A and B are shown apart, each in its own frame.
Chain A
Amino acid sequence: MPKKPLLEFTDKGIYCAIGKFYIDPWKPVDDAVITHAHADHAYWGHKHYLAHHLSREVLLYRLGEIQLQTVEYGETVIKNGVQISLFPAGHVIGSAQIRVEHQGEVWVVSGDYKVEDDGISTPFEPVRCNHFISECTFGMPVYQWKPQVEIFNDVNNWWRSNVEHGLATVIVGYSLGKAQRILQNLDLSIGNVYTHGVIENTNEALRRNGVILNPTTRITPESVKEEVRKGIILAPPSSVGTPWMRKFGPYSFGYCSGWMAIRGAKRRRAADRGFVLSDHADWDGLVSAIDATGCDSVYLTHGYTATFTRYLNEIGFDAHEVHTLYGDDEGVGSVPEEEPEVHAVPHPALSKGEGSDKRDVQILSFGEDLGEAGGRLS
């Protein structure tokens, strides 16, 4: 009888039958290993969570009272004889690839990842394995990122020019990951950084976790508009076009996302400036990361899976497109923002959470983390 694979794709998520745990499951399970704290990977409702230390406070902030165990990169946890260890994915602070080993067979689940060192997330580390389960959000060769130093140069020049022209500056990026990456790369000699409540809540959670971030000021009803307008406003995608944002006008609004690489996507967004900045690997990044694992087989979970799988097979990999709940074909990101089918149970903390923005914690499926894809067509 052929041996059952160590990891399999089920209707609840990626499952290890021997170890009796799931990785990033989207339905409530007993034992969940979480790659990172983005809403489309860390769902509410599991009995037990395992994640990296640096995801701790954000997970608690987002999911409330959960039973959470956290570990360091490289540390091994054994579940029913299966060894689990986390390795840096470079996607956001605390993001991890999950390495699963049993009787010499090694599987790695990438979660989301990027290969460029963003200076704030622990840099991506290739992990040797037999089977690699990878994302491919930007698995098309037209997606090729420039070094972030060039992008931030543009961001800072744009901010400076806005200040000179009396325009407020609003920069938009997902509240976990992109927001801190932007924050740490702004030229603070230009002005102060003001944050939307959702982003500041995430910043505070990270600071509780010991992450050192540049100083920020939370925007409250008491904030002095004229002061805020001289600085830069860090805002989540859900705030675009809201009265909250409009009250700082006239402003120039910049959007940071990998989708900005394509003129059409940029024009749909109607942002004043589109900065091509992504927390996902670009085409070359994906190919090199997969190659570096030395894997026998690779499984593509979300992104341009069909195209990327075909290409990998042509260049000699044994690649498989995985149809899961989030087997979203190449349909990354064009999903309507509020699609009832994929909303998970609303988290109870939503109603009491001070300043929490519902949209920001709404649950979408894989590949639709709001920073990159969700709200792409707003």
Chain B
Amino acid sequence: MKAFAQLFLSLDETNKTNEKVKVLKDYFNNVPDTDKMHMLALFSGRKPKRQINSTLVRNWAIEASNIPGWLFEESYHVVGDLAETMSLLMPQNRGSSSKTLTEWIAEINALGDKTEEEKKLWLLDSWAMLDTSERFVFNKLLTGSFRVGVSQSLVVKALAEITGIEAPALTHRIMGSWMPATYTYEQLVHEDSASDDISRPYPFFLAYPIQETSEKQKSSDELKIALGDEGEWQAEWKWDGIRSQLIKRGGEIFIWSRGEDLATDKFPELYPFLNALPDGTVIDGELLSFQNGLPMPFNVLQTRIGRKNLTKKILEESPVAVIAYDCLEYNGEDIRNRTQAERRLILEELQAATPFPEIFRLSALISFETWDDLAKTREQSRAMIAEGIMLKRKSATYQVGRKRGDWWKWKIDPLSVDAVMIYAQKGHGRRADLYTDYTFAVWDGDKLVPFAKAYSGLTDAEINKVDYFIKRNTLEKFGPVRTVKPELVFEIGFEGINKSSRHKSGIALRFPRILRWRHDKPKEEADTIESLRALLGE
């Protein structure tokens, strides 16, 4: 555990990519293979099962820290991270421990059948043996929230340099449902055994926005310069659903979402079509709810994902189908190195053969002669329930991760309204102890009704200024939330808008964020609830 805690400290101590890779390599070179696999699992989002519920952990931490509960909560708002708060509040450790990461995780996993009293004893003893930095990572393991300041691609890069295996291949080998208990370092570095897992998905290929960072729309001429000849590109709608990989291998089916979650259980409607696919097929596509053959807005699917059990009613109201984009494996062969055009032909062939064309849909190609044509088509995106247009170079291979060059997303401009900030809350992580999470309102007569929360869109300098304003213009405090004097106006952008019975305003927004701070607008000139309702298109 000391090595693992040191890894965190060292990663925190540098902002330079090369330094981070070096730190990761040092770690890999100095720990047992089982620790390597546990670390890989944690850094790629495979968190251990939570063995003690977090309320208990919290309560015992409060007890160990010997402070009142409210002070613990306030500390948490200052620190912005539960594991860190607990590690900072506890008294100095009484002893030390030389257990490895593997040994600690084994102990945690063995807690499952212990009584509450036994768990508590074990936890208090463990805390007393760990110093502040070890306690921090230990608490992270325990509470199962393992977001770290280093990307998986850096970890892969370090591992690639150590093993001599290329990064894309390694990225692929650490995908899927493996756990450190079932996948050894030996297996990882030896190609033959690495392909044993028939459920393993491929790394997703992701597109960059063609607008890059600018909000300003690119003109057709600029597109021509950036992308070249229209004939080299295929265009499709950019659907707003769950990006997924559908696998049929060895008579079994697997559905993976892009977050690398195995979601096979969640979509029974897809089983018949998947079972009908030939073995050794992998399809990349978007899952959406459909009604009368038309895609429904994302919020319908979202409500469904949130449910623990899929009732008959849900299956009837929002049946899911896939809009297929690509084929990655055909007849058991990895075809990611073939061209986009070739893969498309294979995909069309597979789709033509399906007895379930309502479920296995093809992402239609948009025909266009000029960039200008396409720009016009793009304006219909919202009516199509699409987020915009995808551009894929016909000669492109299917790559790993987010890459510039061959795939671009060309999203529609967000909808926007001007709104007044009325509540604020402190942020987390690097925004800890700063007011960065805001609630916005529009006018309903002479009242302000809250309609959206947004966390992003301001620069650090703007955040400081807003934070300064909030701290001096607080009307009331409710726990961590402050009611702020209504004064600051912001332009809020969002991708979509839907009716919602769960929200006071009666509407729900998709991806709300701050587009800009309207210093020029007094609060009286912010938009009204009517202007939002008008966007509902009713």
Asked whether A264 is an interface residue with its Cβ less than 8 Å from the other chain, the reply is yes
Asked whether B111 is an interface residue with its Cβ less than 8 Å from the other chain, the reply is no
Asked whether A61 is an interface residue with its Cβ less than 8 Å from the other chain, the reply is no
Contact A339 B468 (CB under 8 A): yes
Asked whether A82 is an interface residue with its Cβ less than 8 Å from the other chain, the reply is no
Asked whether B12 is an interface residue with its Cβ less than 8 Å from the other chain, the reply is yes
Query: Contacts A264-B428, A268-B430 known; A142 to B68 CB distance under 8 Å?
Result: no
Query: Contacts A264-B431, A339-B468 known; A307 to B74 CB distance under 8 Å?
Result: yes
Contact A377 B68 (CB under 8 A): no
Contact A307 B71 (CB under 8 A): yes
Residues on the A chain within 8 Å of B323, using CB = none
Cβ proximity bits B81-97 to A, threshold 8 Å, 1 near / 0 not: 10011001100000000
Main DSSP-derived SS at the B contact region? helix
Contact B461 A141 (CB under 8 A): no
Asked whether A270 is an interface residue with its Cβ less than 8 Å from the other chain, the reply is yes
How many angstroms from the CA of A267 to the CA of B8 in the assembled complex? 13
Interface set, chain B 11-33, CB cutoff 8 A to A: 12-15
Cβ proximity bits B425-447 to A, threshold 8 Å, 1 near / 0 not: 00011111110000000000000
Contact B68 A314 (CB under 8 A): yes
Query: Contacts A264-B430, A267-B149 known; A140 to B467 CB distance under 8 Å?
Result: no
Asked whether A204 is an interface residue with its Cβ less than 8 Å from the other chain, the reply is no
Q: Indicate which residue in B12, B70, B464 contacts A266 across the interface (CB closer than 8 Å).
A: B12
Asked whether A273 is an interface residue with its Cβ less than 8 Å from the other chain, the reply is yes
Interface set, chain B 241-282, CB cutoff 8 A to A: none
How far is the CB of A37 from the nearest CB of chain B, in Å?
26
Contact B428 A272 (CB under 8 A): no
Q: Which partner residue on chain A sits nearest B477 by CB separation? A: A306
Residues on the A chain within 8 Å of B12, using CB = 263, 266-267
Residues on the B chain within 8 Å of A263, using CB = 12, 79, 81, 84, 429-430, 432
Contact B79 A262 (CB under 8 A): yes
Query: Contacts A262-B432, A264-B429, A268-B430 known; A142 to B88 CB distance under 8 Å?
Result: yes
Residues on the B chain within 8 Å of A264, using CB = 79-81, 428-433
Contact A329 B471 (CB under 8 A): yes
Query: Contacts A141-B75, A377-B464 known; A265 to B68 CB distance under 8 Å?
Result: no
Residues on the A chain within 8 Å of B467, using CB = 331, 334
Q: Indicate which residue in A262, A265, A335 contacts B464 across the interface (CB closer than 8 Å).
A: A335
Residues on the A chain within 8 Å of B474, using CB = 329
Q: Indicate which residue in A268, A314, A334 contacts B468 across the interface (CB closer than 8 Å).
A: A334
Interface set, chain A 231-273, CB cutoff 8 A to B: 261-268, 270, 272-273
Asked whether B465 is an interface residue with its Cβ less than 8 Å from the other chain, the reply is yes
Asked whether A324 is an interface residue with its Cβ less than 8 Å from the other chain, the reply is no
Q: Indicate which residue in B79, B81, B429, B433 contacts A334 across the interface (CB closer than 8 Å).
A: B433
Asked whether B515 is an interface residue with its Cβ less than 8 Å from the other chain, the reply is no
How many angstroms from the CA of A274 to the CA of B10 in the assembled complex? 11
Asked whether B67 is an interface residue with its Cβ less than 8 Å from the other chain, the reply is yes
Asked whether B65 is an interface residue with its Cβ less than 8 Å from the other chain, the reply is yes
How far is the CB of A70 from the nearest CB of chain B, in Å?
36
Asked whether B78 is an interface residue with its Cβ less than 8 Å from the other chain, the reply is yes
How far is the CB of A336 from the nearest CB of chain B, in Å?
4
Residues on the B chain within 8 Å of A273, using CB = 13
Residues on the A chain within 8 Å of B472, using CB = 331
Contact B468 A331 (CB under 8 A): yes
Query: Contacts A141-B65, A142-B88 known; A262 to B433 CB distance under 8 Å?
Result: yes
Asked whether B460 is an interface residue with its Cβ less than 8 Å from the other chain, the reply is yes
Q: Which partner residue on chain A sits nearest B92 by CB separation? A: A144
How many angstroms from the CA of A270 to the CA of B14 in the assembled complex? 8
Cβ proximity bits A28-65 to B, threshold 8 Å, 1 near / 0 not: 00000000000000000000000000000000000000
Asked whether A328 is an interface residue with its Cβ less than 8 Å from the other chain, the reply is yes
Contact A142 B89 (CB under 8 A): yes
Asked whether A311 is an interface residue with its Cβ less than 8 Å from the other chain, the reply is yes
Residues on the A chain within 8 Å of B65, using CB = 141
Interface size class, chain B: 35 or more
Q: Indicate which residue in B149, B432, B468 contacts A265 across the interface (CB closer than 8 Å).
A: B432
Q: Which partner residue on chain B sits nearest A314 by CB separation? A: B68
Q: Which partner residue on chain A sits nearest B74 by CB separation? A: A307
Contact A272 B13 (CB under 8 A): yes
Contact B85 A142 (CB under 8 A): yes
Query: Contacts A263-B12, A264-B428, A268-B460 known; A335 to B433 CB distance under 8 Å?
Result: no
How far is the CB of B489 from the nearest CB of chain A, in Å?
19
Contact B471 A328 (CB under 8 A): yes
How many angstroms from the CA of A262 to the CA of B12 in the assembled complex? 11
How far is the CB of B298 from the nearest CB of chain A, in Å?
31
Contact B433 A141 (CB under 8 A): no
Interface set, chain A 326-346, CB cutoff 8 A to B: 328-331, 334-337, 339
Q: Which partner residue on chain A sits nearest B428 by CB separation? A: A264
Residues on the B chain within 8 Å of A268, using CB = 430-431, 460
Contact A335 B468 (CB under 8 A): yes
Residues on the A chain within 8 Å of B78, using CB = 140, 142, 262, 304, 330
Q: Which partner residue on chain A sits nearest B432 by CB separation? A: A264
Residues on the B chain within 8 Å of A307, using CB = 71, 74
How many angstroms from the CA of A270 to the CA of B80 in the assembled complex? 17
Q: Which partner residue on chain B sits nearest A273 by CB separation? A: B13
Contact B464 A336 (CB under 8 A): yes
Contact A142 B75 (CB under 8 A): yes
How many angstroms from the CA of A334 to the CA of B468 in the assembled complex? 7
How far is the CB of A312 from the nearest CB of chain B, in Å?
11
How many angstroms from the CA of A273 to the CA of B467 in the assembled complex? 26
Q: Which partner residue on chain A sits nearest B66 by CB separation? A: A141
How many angstroms from the CA of A201 to the CA of B14 in the assembled complex? 32
Q: Which partner residue on chain A sits nearest B65 by CB separation? A: A141
How many angstroms from the CA of A268 to the CA of B75 in the assembled complex? 18
Residues on the B chain within 8 Å of A336, using CB = 461, 464-465, 468
Contact A142 B79 (CB under 8 A): yes
Contact A141 B464 (CB under 8 A): no
How many angstroms from the CA of A273 to the CA of B15 in the assembled complex? 10
How many angstroms from the CA of A262 to the CA of B75 in the assembled complex? 11
Pick from A142, A262, A267, A268 the residue with the most CB of B within 10 Å: A142
How many angstroms from the CA of A328 to the CA of B470 in the assembled complex? 11
Residues on the A chain within 8 Å of B471, using CB = 328-331, 334
Contact A334 B74 (CB under 8 A): no
How far is the CB of B303 from the nearest CB of chain A, in Å?
33
How many angstroms from the CA of A253 to the CA of B388 in the assembled complex? 44
How far is the CB of A337 from the nearest CB of chain B, in Å?
8
How many angstroms from the CA of A141 to the CA of B464 in the assembled complex? 24
Residues on the B chain within 8 Å of A140, using CB = 74-75, 78
How many angstroms from the CA of A377 to the CA of B78 in the assembled complex? 15
Q: Indicate which residue in B68, B430, B468 contacts A267 across the interface (CB closer than 8 Å).
A: B430
Contact B71 A141 (CB under 8 A): yes
Interface set, chain B 382-436, CB cutoff 8 A to A: 428-434
Q: Which residues of B contact A (CB under 8 A)?
A: 12-15, 65, 67-68, 70-71, 74-75, 78-81, 84-85, 88-89, 149, 428-434, 460-461, 463-465, 467-468, 471-472, 474
Q: Which residues of A contact B (CB under 8 A)?
A: 140-142, 144, 261-268, 270, 272-274, 304, 307, 310-311, 314, 328-331, 334-337, 339, 377
Q: A141-B65, A264-B80, A267-B149 are in contact. List 18 more A-B contacts (CB 8 A).
A: A140-B75, A142-B75, A142-B88, A142-B89, A144-B88, A262-B80, A262-B88, A263-B79, A263-B432, A264-B428, A265-B433, A267-B429, A268-B430, A272-B15, A307-B74, A329-B474, A330-B471, A334-B464
Top 4 nearest A-B pairs by Cβ distance?
A264-B432, A331-B471, A267-B430, A142-B88
Question: Can you list 14 A-B contacts (CB < 8 A)?
Answer: A141-B89, A142-B88, A263-B430, A267-B149, A267-B429, A267-B430, A268-B431, A272-B13, A274-B13, A311-B71, A331-B467, A331-B471, A334-B434, A336-B465
